[in-house]
Structure 1
């Protein structure tokens, strides 16, 4: 209690709070508009209070480098959350690819969680992915990651940006996001491609049939059936997606710590 009210420990607590707040600003599931700001600030202060007693504050001095430490902590929290958001965005990218083939590309919906436009199928997949994340206690793993980040990135150390490995790591993660999105979308997109081939053959053999009138409802029907059939495969891909997201976050924290 005496340490809590000691004014000399406040700079250390502020550094911890900045990293945790940056994490909750960009991390999926915690950064959405549907979660009250008061809750995010409150849980950030609570976590910072817990982490404060696990961090060695001996190397923190309130001098001219303290401002750079605050900037570093904000960058660490924001980038850890942002890399997780980039990976999980593969679900919405896959939904955009599917909607383009279904004919739903123009019928985007407003995502109430982010405030941005989202494809219909992508939003449907995204909700399932978030429910799956909650069902397997993935949000606890995310919080555990920011708590254990201090074992990889000391609070008094700076990020080694000079070797360029961090930028290369982020680019590889970005490329993997598109690869995962393609793996999620390829079963439905492949079925719709076969429908296009069949409609093309029909239009050549039966010119009297207007394929533009028949094609769109047929592709929507095939898409719904394919989504229903491949839904179990989608759950497996989402499970691998979250596993990869946790690995990427851990790898990024190791690079931030100079490992």
Structure 2
């Protein structure tokens, strides 16, 4: 094996390792480090690589850090879909009174509220059921066509794309929670009118069980639509990351 292939392979391994480190389910802290390292080596070997020669140690270290940063950025961009789902779940819970319970999130490994955990599990199911993890790996392969390992790009596209992807993910999360927010506003309006009509009724005592009961009904009724919304978030996120890749010089 010639050094002309080993150098780009090691650089590509850095990008793949960073990508898998931030990518849910295929990497992250819940996946053994040995498994992530082995998968990074095998995936990098299948990348379209060109021979690179004449690199000094300092240049190689700079390119390796750049590759790790590119991989982390791409993995973070894909993982923003999970963030959007969690934002939607937390917004819905805050408006419907379901935000008191705390459970362990199976995706990220930290505590989250009940509805956010349910929606994160739905996002994980959609992630594998729709072959989104394969599409994420295809985006990683596309990145080698758009940005070769021996190139040092400007940081401006990274920063601009990061703001765009984050804003889009937050908006997608709010859109998923919109039906629950609208239902909560309707309940609050009805309770306010009821308090004016019957001042002797303790509105605060009635509102909590009413909102929790309505929340449980809405979660069950909107579950198929929520799954469709989660799938749409995945499609939109991957399309956004792909558009960012195609804009790179």
Per the TM superposition, whether the score is higher than 0.5 is yes
Does the Cα contact within 8 Å between 2:30 and 2:109 map onto a contact in 1? no
How far residue 215 of structure 1 moved from its aligned partner, in angstroms, is 1.3
Secondary structure class of the residue paired with 1:109: strand
1:62 is aligned to 2:58: no
CA–CA distance in structure 1, aligned partners of residues 182 and 69 of structure 2 = 41
Counting only pairs closer than 5 Å after superposition, residues 191-202 of structure 1 correspond to structure 2 as 191-202=183-194
CA–CA distance in structure 2, aligned partners of residues 112 and 234 of structure 1 = 18
Does the Cα contact within 8 Å between 2:95 and 2:181 map onto a contact in 1? yes
After superposition, the C-alpha distances for 1:196-234 in whole angstroms (9 at most, x for unaligned) are 111122222222322222211111111111122222322
Counting only pairs closer than 5 Å after superposition, residues 65-76 of structure 1 correspond to structure 2 as 65-76=59-70
The partner residue of 1:47 within 43, 46, 68 is 43
Does the Cα contact within 8 Å between 1:87 and 1:173 map onto a contact in 2? no
Secondary structure class of the residue paired with 2:46: helix
Normalising to structure 2: TM-score of the pair?
Answer: 0.91
The partner residue of 2:209 within 206, 217, 220 is 217
Stretch deviating more after TM superposition (111-120 or 182-191): 111-120
Q: Could you list the runs of 4 or more consecutive aligned residues of structure 1 that deviate by over 3 angstroms after TM superposition? A: 6-9
The alignment of Structure 1 onto Structure 2 pairs a total of residues equal to 248
CA–CA distance in structure 2, aligned partners of residues 142 and 61 of structure 1 = 32
2:238 maps to 246
1:38 is aligned to 2:34: yes
CA–CA distance in structure 2, aligned partners of residues 114 and 88 of structure 1 = 9
Unaligned ranges ≥5, structure 1: none
Instruction: Tell me: CA distance 1:82–1:11, structure 2 relative to 1, closer, same or farther (3 Å).
Output: same
1:134 is aligned to 2:123: no
Does the Cα contact within 8 Å between 2:96 and 2:215 map onto a contact in 1? yes
